Amino acid sequence: MQKQPDKAIQLSHGGGGQEMNKLIKSLFFKAFDNPLLCREEDAAALMLSGQCAFTTDAFTVSPLFFAGGNIGKLAIAGTVNDLAMMAAKPEYLAASFIIEEGFALADLRTIVESMAAELAVSGARIVCGDTKVVPRGCADGVFITTTGVGHIQHQGISSHALTAGDAVLISRDIGRHGAAILMGREGLELDSELTSDCATLWPAVKALLDAGLEIHAMRDATRGGLAAVLNEWSQASGVGIDVQEQAIPVADPVRGLCELYGFEPYDLANEGTFVIALPAHQAQQALTALQALPCCPDAAVIGQVSGANPGKVILTSPWGSSRYLELPAGELLPRIC
């Protein structure tokens, strides 16, 4: 028999019986309440029409709580951002929880409430879910998989659509999420404002779409960081991408951590930072739209798409030397998201 049965998750909370029903009703249904939420059937019924984006992500971040967010905020922002990067309005989400026996109910409540708060930023709604509980030692706290659906508002945005002459923009300074997780994991307490960039990007994307810009490609720089996005784009579109090192915003504490641990800020994960490619003559208009938002005062043009060096990303230092910016390899930081 366990003590304090109401203060920690028990195996019976995942058993399909009375205890699971009580947990779902008292926690999930309350936090995620909306008319479409599937309560008594196995699936939600949605009216959809036209081209929709569909995306899924499993979140296993460690630590679960970090400077600037937690796994719940991340699970919503991450999936909503994948929809936003397809120019899809984030509308309907599914949330699956895998919870370790003994996990504190208070922490689960905090995580779920963070999810509800982050949903409000885009107006997306959780319409169905699932809860599984595994015995102690079979998972590490809680894992959340979120899957999203939304109508695509603007066709043709694709990693294949980069064109020589495009400008490449970043929405803000890079590497914050990776650095915040590293700091949390190493138990570092820096005297700094180093927080994850974890955020919902739909308002920024909507501002760009509303401005009528001809966006060629758009991608949030999550696992693998800016380096992964640029390499995937250059290969998919068969173009070269030239990037100026001094144009890429990096906050001082992120730069400091990178020097300490031997990371490159280009490889570090972000969770609320995106890269945009669009015709160079629209770059200033895009910057103006982004910089008007609270999230993006540091938005910057960081490079250009070229017809030379197809499939390669070339980084030029302030001193004029150039090198390939490679796709990251090796372990990097595990459980970053």
- State the nearest-atom distance from the C-beta of 209 to a copy of itself, in Å: 16
DSSP secondary structure code for residue 12 in this structure: G
CB of 90 to a copy of itself, least distance (A): 10
Cβ-contact 76, 93 below 8 angstroms: yes
The distance of closest approach from Cβ of residue 102 to a copy of itself in the complex, given in angstroms and rounded to an integer, is: 13
Q: For residues 172 and 219, which CB has a smaller minimum distance to a copy of itself in the complex?
A: 219
| Beta-carbon contacts of residue 264 (< 8 Å; ≥ 6 apart) | 227, 258
| Three-state DSSP class for residue 255 | helix
Query: Residue 177's closest CA among 267, 249, 262?
Result: 267
Query: Exposed e or buried b for every residue in 4-29, given b needs 16+ CB within 10 A?
Result: eeeebbbebbbeeeebbeebbeebbe
Kindly tell me which of 101 and 173 has the beta carbon lying closer to a copy of itself: 101
Burial of 275 (0-12, 13-18, 19+ CB in 10 A): buried
Name the token pair of 160.
Answer: 């294949």
Measured from the CB of residue 266, what is the shortest distance to a copy of itself in angstroms?
12
For a copy of itself, the closer of residues 40 and 189 by Cβ is: 40
Segment (H or E) for 99? strand 92-100
Rounded to a whole number of angstroms, the minimum distance from the CB of residue 288 to a copy of itself is 26
Which is closer to a copy of itself, CB of 258 or CB of 287?
258
DSSP 326: P
What is the residue-wise DSSP string for 235-248? HHHT-EEEEEGGGS
Nearer to a copy of itself, 61 or 168 (CB): 61
Rounded-to-integer distance, Cα 223 and Cα 228, Å: 8
Neighbours of 188 (CB within 10 A): 13
Q: Which is nearer to a copy of itself, 239 or 287 (CB)?
A: 239
Assess contact for 35 and 124: CB atoms under 8 A: no
Residue nearer to a copy of itself on the CB measure, 196 or 287: 196
Using the structure block, give the residue that is written with the tokens 């971040």: 61
In DSSP terms, 141 is beta-bridged to none
Chain centroid offset of residue 259 CA: 24
CB of 192 to a copy of itself, least distance (A): 25
**Of 137 and 294, which CB lies nearer to a copy of itself in the complex structure?**
137
If the CB atoms of residues 4 and 18 are measured against a copy of itself, the closer one turns out to be 18
Smallest distance from a copy of itself to CB 131, Å: 8
- Please give the Cα distance from 49 to 247 (Å, whole number): 41
